[in-house]
């Protein structure tokens, strides 16, 4: 069977470190390809379409779009740059033939730049480097290009990958040029470069073969499989088979077939090899499976997804307030929701445990799991989760744990303190670079275990003036004990409603997390003690009423405002014997054992 090219198609994936401007570049490409009506309001970060993405200002899910440039259709996949969502990149690189590697003109290549470039080069994608944010000044451009070249030397799998074009862009202004410092007016040089450099899809003639790379849902159409067609063609109502990972074959009928254009999916009568399509009607299909001609079912290589590194339990809420705020609270509802998530969230794992009410979830990092938790609570679910833990394994009888490369960019005055807190977390300094102007980049190897709970300590220690990035390096022998450095908790001693008087008393011992009027239960964590042990406090205690009205007694007590922990901070905060209770309305922290007697008994037994 011969090979053909489809000259009028290009498939590209956009990859970069977090915040280097991928979604902004897609915005500009969409706007300049004139797929919107002139008066259509489309806004910014168009591809970051889900609410959490918009709130957090980051991309979480990889997404497809397409533009037409000079008669050629360019299918574009925007990907997340945050390391916790790198499973998304692994899932979609197979749809593309070329990649745009964005590099921030000031920051230069960062840990995740390396990770995503390795993925792209390993799949044989043709790279184009785009040095972005050149509007921020181009003093470092030469150096950034040089460092990027070094990265290619390290990662390239073939000599021709080293011969890559470099463009200089401002995604924000919608400009790209081929020479640094040149005056530009639009993205034409980028579009031209894509047409010239990225090979059109090579396709084989023969019966249908396509790989499912994404799944989507539509309340009206049901499950939608997003696939790259490698061979043959597909039309509505075609008879096809789905071949799963274990080579089981099931027969199906295709519903409708769509291709991409801008933000829309266009219903088509036929789609051919080389294109990216969305197919309805296949309700039993999963990511990584092959859809093939029913008479000649031949499987395609699947999608390799790296293993999760962090786990926690997610279970039915067992607090005294259980069921008061959530719509879906039962074990069955939680299990169904988790299983639905597994279909699209490819780097996630969810397993049953010995207890029917508790599940074990595992993902690529704390944020990966936190986003799932936040999404579930917004969908009306109520549950409780435990502290995130690194996933260890035993190899040849030896305990191993995941280890990450940690890069910190900060100023000289933070070095001492950071070294101190990091050494307690078993981090090893591997490199330190001072630019001579007081800016330092420090690189460490640190067990994932040591990174859990590190973010908040890091932000406090550096007053937000430093940036940290991590990259999974792999499994290594156990690094040694890490003793938790958090102080004890202030734990509510009784059920009731917190009042100013009681909270003021608690503030004498530490920081409080709740406002007066908050309902509390015995065992709920209401603050952070200034000492190592937990202390029970009665935040519901009212001032004793006396008959004598003294002139000072009525002066209102001024409480320090409560410290409100976000979900990520709460997960960072809790220890092994504590839980976060998550409902659509509240986040509460609690001891696993609610009464003081139970906790005392447990301590004695230990
Ligand atoms: N000055 C300047 N800022 C830019 C440019 N491109 C993007 N930004 C800004 O950089 C920030 C991140 O941009 P995004 O487009 O969300 O970056 P991203 O790579 O999609 O980020 P993730 O998807 O989370 O990895 C935003 O505040 C943008 O406004 C640019 O060319 N110049
Ligand atoms: Mg983005």
**What band does 542 get if pLDDT is binned at 50, 70 and 90?**
confident
Average pLDDT, the chain: 91
Residue 124, helix vs strand vs coil: coil
Decide which of 139 and 23 is more confident.
23
Asked if residues 62 and 305 have their Cβ atoms less than 8 Å apart, the reply is no
- Cβ-based neighbour number of residue 592 at 10 Å: 17
- Say if ligand 1 is within 6 A of residue 16 CB: yes
**What band does 1 get if pLDDT is binned at 50, 70 and 90?**
very low
Q: By mean pLDDT, which of 28-37, 207-216, 391-400, 493-502 is the weakest?
A: 28-37
Domain harbouring 567, CATH code? 2.40.50.250
Ion ligand 2: protein residues whose beta carbon lies under 5 Å: 22-23, 59
pTM for the full predicted model: 0.89
In the chain, count of helices (H) and strands (E)? Answer: 14, 37
- Determine the distance separating the centroid of ligand 1 and the alpha carbon of 458, expressed in angstroms: 24
- Of ligand 1's atoms, which has the minimum distance to the CA of residue 132? 31
Task: Give residue 21's pLDDT.
Answer: 96
Task: Give residue 551's pLDDT.
Answer: 46
Please name the residue whose Cα sits nearest to atom 7 of ligand 1: 21
Q: What is the DSSP string of 463-525?
A: TT--EEEEEEEEEEE----------PEEEE-SSEE--HHHHHHHHTTEEE---TT-EE-TTEE
Residue 301 located in a structural domain = no
Mark whether 452 and 551 lie in a shared domain.
no
Residue 553 confidence (pLDDT) above 50? no
Please name the residue whose Cα sits nearest to atom 8 of ligand 1: 21
Mark whether 370 and 417 lie in a shared domain.
no
- Say if ligand 1 is within 6 A of residue 21 CB: yes
Out of 427, 449, 477, a domain closes at 477
Task: Give residue 276's pLDDT.
Answer: 95
Please name the residue whose Cα sits nearest to atom 14 of ligand 1: 21
Mark whether 342 and 275 lie in a shared domain.
no
- Say if ligand 1 is within 6 A of residue 81 CB: yes
Residue 483 located in a structural domain = no
Task: Give residue 264's pLDDT.
Answer: 85
Question: For the segment 219-233, what is each residue's pLDDT rounded down to a tens digit?
Answer: 888 899 999 999 999
**What band does 462 get if pLDDT is binned at 50, 70 and 90?**
confident
Question: For the segment 231-256, what is each residue's pLDDT rounded down to a tens digit?
Answer: 999 999 999 999 998 899 999 999 99
- Cβ-based neighbour number of residue 263 at 10 Å: 15
Task: Give residue 159's pLDDT.
Answer: 87
Asked if residues 302 and 360 have their Cβ atoms less than 8 Å apart, the reply is no
Sign of the C-alpha dihedral computed for residues 116, 118, 120 and 126 taken in this order: positive
Residue 526, helix vs strand vs coil: strand
Out of 327, 362, 383, a domain closes at 383
Q: How far apart are CA 179 and CA 182, in angstroms?
A: 6
**Percent over 90 (pLDDT), the chain:** 72
- Say if ligand 1 is within 6 A of residue 24 CB: yes
Q: How far apart are CA 541 and CA 391, in angstroms?
A: 43
Task: Give residue 26's pLDDT.
Answer: 95
Out of 264, 293, 322, a domain closes at 293
- Say if ligand 1 is within 6 A of residue 22 CB: yes
Task: Give residue 174's pLDDT.
Answer: 95
Q: By mean pLDDT, which of 24-38, 83-97, 261-275 is the weakest?
A: 24-38
Task: Give residue 510's pLDDT.
Answer: 93
Mark whether 165 and 29 lie in a shared domain.
yes
Domain count of the fold of the chain: 5
Residue 170 confidence (pLDDT) above 60? yes
Mark whether 179 and 211 lie in a shared domain.
no
Residue 494 token pair:
């009784």
The phi and psi torsions of 69 (rounded to 5 degrees) equal -125, 125
- Say if ligand 1 is within 6 A of residue 184 CB: no
- Determine the distance separating the centroid of ligand 1 and the alpha carbon of 22, expressed in angstroms: 7
Task: Give residue 453's pLDDT.
Answer: 84
Question: For the segment 64-76, what is each residue's pLDDT rounded down to a tens digit?
Answer: 999 999 889 999 9
Q: Which of 21, 76, 115 to mutate to test the pocket of ligand 1 (most atoms within 8 A of CB)?
A: 21
End-to-end CA distance of the chain: 69
Mark whether 376 and 409 lie in a shared domain.
no
CB-based contacts of 43, cutoff 8 Å, min separation 6: none
Q: How far apart are CA 90 and CA 109, in angstroms?
A: 19
- Say if ligand 1 is within 6 A of residue 20 CB: yes
- Of ligand 1's atoms, which has the minimum distance to the CA of residue 173? 31
Mean pLDDT, range 172-176, rounded to an integer: 95
The closest of 197, 226, 200 to 213, measured between CA atoms, is 226
Mark whether 249 and 317 lie in a shared domain.
no
- Determine the distance separating the centroid of ligand 2 and the alpha carbon of 17, expressed in angstroms: 10
Task: Give residue 2's pLDDT.
Answer: 52
- Say if ligand 1 is within 6 A of residue 54 CB: no
Q: By mean pLDDT, which of 239-243, 313-317, 404-408, 453-457 is the weakest?
A: 453-457
Sheet holding 98-104, edge to edge: 63-69, 72-78, 9-16, 98-104, 126-132, 166-170, 175-177
Mean pLDDT, range 370-392, rounded to an integer: 96
Mean pLDDT, range 557-561, rounded to an integer: 86
Please name the residue whose Cα sits nearest to atom 30 of ligand 1: 133
Residue 102, helix vs strand vs coil: strand
Mark whether 38 and 120 lie in a shared domain.
yes
Strand partners for 196: none
Residue 303 located in a structural domain = no
Q: How far apart are CA 187 and CA 189, in angstroms?
A: 5
Q: How far apart are CA 276 and CA 77, in angstroms?
A: 10
- Of ligand 1's atoms, which has the minimum distance to the CA of residue 17? 25
- Say if ligand 1 is within 6 A of residue 132 CB: yes
Q: Which of 111, 172, 368, 469 to mutate to test the pocket of ligand 1 (most atoms within 8 A of CB)?
A: 172
Mark whether 322 and 435 lie in a shared domain.
no
Residue 300 located in a structural domain = no
Domain harbouring 108, CATH code? 3.40.50.300
Mean pLDDT, range 178-203, rounded to an integer: 93
- Say if ligand 1 is within 6 A of residue 15 CB: no
Residue 299 located in a structural domain = no
- Determine the distance separating the centroid of ligand 2 and the alpha carbon of 19, expressed in angstroms: 7
Q: Where are the alpha helices (DSSP H) in 277-392?
A: 331-344, 366-378
Question: For the segment 429-452, what is each residue's pLDDT rounded down to a tens digit?
Answer: 999 998 888 889 999 999 999 998
- Determine the distance separating the centroid of ligand 2 and the alpha carbon of 23, expressed in angstroms: 4
**Percent over 70 (pLDDT), the chain:** 96
- Say if ligand 1 is within 6 A of residue 469 CB: no
Please name the residue whose Cα sits nearest to atom 29 of ligand 1: 172
Q: How far apart are CA 250 and CA 261, in angstroms?
A: 31
Residue 298 located in a structural domain = no
Task: Give residue 96's pLDDT.
Answer: 96
Q: How far apart are CA 580 and CA 498, in angstroms?
A: 19
Domain harbouring 373, CATH code? 3.30.70.870
Task: Give residue 6's pLDDT.
Answer: 74
Residue 563 located in a structural domain = yes
Mark whether 64 and 183 lie in a shared domain.
yes
Residue 240 located in a structural domain = yes
Question: For the segment 393-440, what is each residue's pLDDT rounded down to a tens digit?
Answer: 999 999 999 999 999 999 999 999 899 999 999 999 999 998 888 889
Mark whether 122 and 186 lie in a shared domain.
yes
- Say if ligand 1 is within 6 A of residue 378 CB: no
Mark whether 142 and 73 lie in a shared domain.
yes
Residue 535 confidence (pLDDT) above 90? yes
- Say if ligand 1 is within 6 A of residue 538 CB: no
- Say if ligand 1 is within 6 A of residue 136 CB: yes
- Say if ligand 1 is within 6 A of residue 19 CB: yes
Question: For the segment 88-140, what is each residue's pLDDT rounded down to a tens digit?
Answer: 999 899 999 999 999 999 999 998 999 999 999 999 999 999 999 999 987 78
Residue 552 confidence (pLDDT) above 60? no
Domain extent for 562: 489-605
């Amino acid at each position: 069977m011969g090979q053909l090219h489809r000259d009028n198609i290009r498939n590209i994936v956009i990859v970069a470190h977090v915040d280097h401007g991928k979604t902004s570049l897609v915005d500009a490409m969409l706007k300049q390809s004139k797929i919107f009506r002139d008066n259509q309001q489309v806004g910014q970060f168009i591809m970051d379409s889900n609410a959490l993405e918009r709130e957090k200002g980051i991309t979480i899910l990889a997404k497809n779009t397409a533009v037409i440039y000079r008669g050629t259709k360019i299918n574009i996949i925007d990907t997340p740059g945050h390391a916790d969502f790198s499973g998304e990149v692994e899932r979609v690189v197979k749809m593309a033939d070329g990649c745009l590697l964005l590099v921030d003109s000031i920051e230069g290549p960062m840990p995740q730049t390396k990770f995503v470039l390795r993925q792209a080069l390993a799949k044989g994608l043709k790279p184009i480097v785009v040095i972005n944010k050149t509007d921020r000044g181009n003093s470092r451009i030469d150096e950034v290009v040089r460092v990027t070249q070094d990265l290619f030397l390290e990662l390239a799998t073939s000599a021709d990958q080293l011969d890559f074009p470099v463009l200089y862009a401002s995604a924000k202004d919608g400009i790209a040029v081929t020479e640094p410092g040149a005056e530009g007016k639009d993205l034409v040089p980028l579009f031209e470069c894509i047409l010239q450099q990225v090979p059109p899809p090579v396709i084989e003639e023969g019966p249908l073969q396509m790989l499912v790379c994404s799944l989507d849902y539509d309340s009206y159409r049901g499950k939608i499989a997003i696939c790259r067609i490698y061979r043959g063609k597909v039309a509505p109502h075609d008879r096809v088979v789905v071949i799963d990972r274990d080579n089981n074959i099931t027969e199906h009928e295709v519903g409708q077939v769509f291709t991409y254009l801008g933000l829309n999916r266009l219903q088509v009568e036929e789609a051919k090899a080389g294109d990216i399509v969305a197919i309805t009607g296949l309700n039993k299909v999963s990511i990584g499976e092959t859809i093939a001609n029913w008479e000649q079912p031949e499987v395609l290589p699947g999608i390799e997804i790296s293993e999760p590194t962090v786990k926690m339990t997610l279970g039915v809420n067992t607090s005294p307030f259980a069921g008061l705020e959530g719509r879906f609270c039962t074990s069955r509802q939680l299990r169904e929701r988790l299983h639905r998530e597994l279909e699209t969230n490819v780097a996630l794992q969810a397993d049953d445990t010995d207890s029917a009410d508790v599940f074990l979830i595992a993902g690529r990092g704390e944020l990966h799991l936190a986003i799932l938790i936040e999404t579930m609570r917004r969908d009306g679910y109520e549950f409780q989760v435990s502290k995130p833990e690194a996933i260890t394994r035993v190899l040849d009888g030896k305990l191993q744990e995941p280890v990450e490369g940690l890069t910190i960019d900060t100023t000289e005055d933070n070095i001492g303190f950071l070294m101190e807190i990091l050494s307690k977390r078993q981090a090893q300094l591997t490199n330190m670079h001072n630019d001579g102007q007081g800016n330092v980049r420090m690189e460490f190897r640190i067990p994932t275990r040591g990174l859990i709970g590190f973010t908040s300590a890091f932000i406090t220690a550096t007053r937000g003036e430093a940036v940290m990035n991590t990259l999974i390096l792999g499994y290594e022998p156990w690094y040694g004990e890490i003793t938790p450095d958090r102080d004890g908790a202030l734990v509510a001693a009784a059920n009731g409603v917190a009042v100013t008087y009681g909270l003021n008393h608690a503030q004498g011992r530490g920081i409080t997390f709740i406002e007066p009027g908050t309902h509390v239960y015995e065992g709920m964590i209401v603050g952070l003690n200034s000492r190592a042990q937990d202390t029970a406090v009665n935040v519901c205690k009212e001032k004793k009423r006396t008959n004598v009205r003294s002139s000072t007694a009525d002066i209102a007590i001024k409480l320090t405002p409560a410290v409100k922990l976000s979900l990520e901070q709460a997960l960072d905060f809790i220890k092994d014997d504590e839980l976060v209770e998550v409902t659509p309305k509240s986040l509460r922290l609690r001891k696993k054992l609610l009464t003081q007697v139970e906790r005392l008994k447990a301590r004695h037994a230990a």
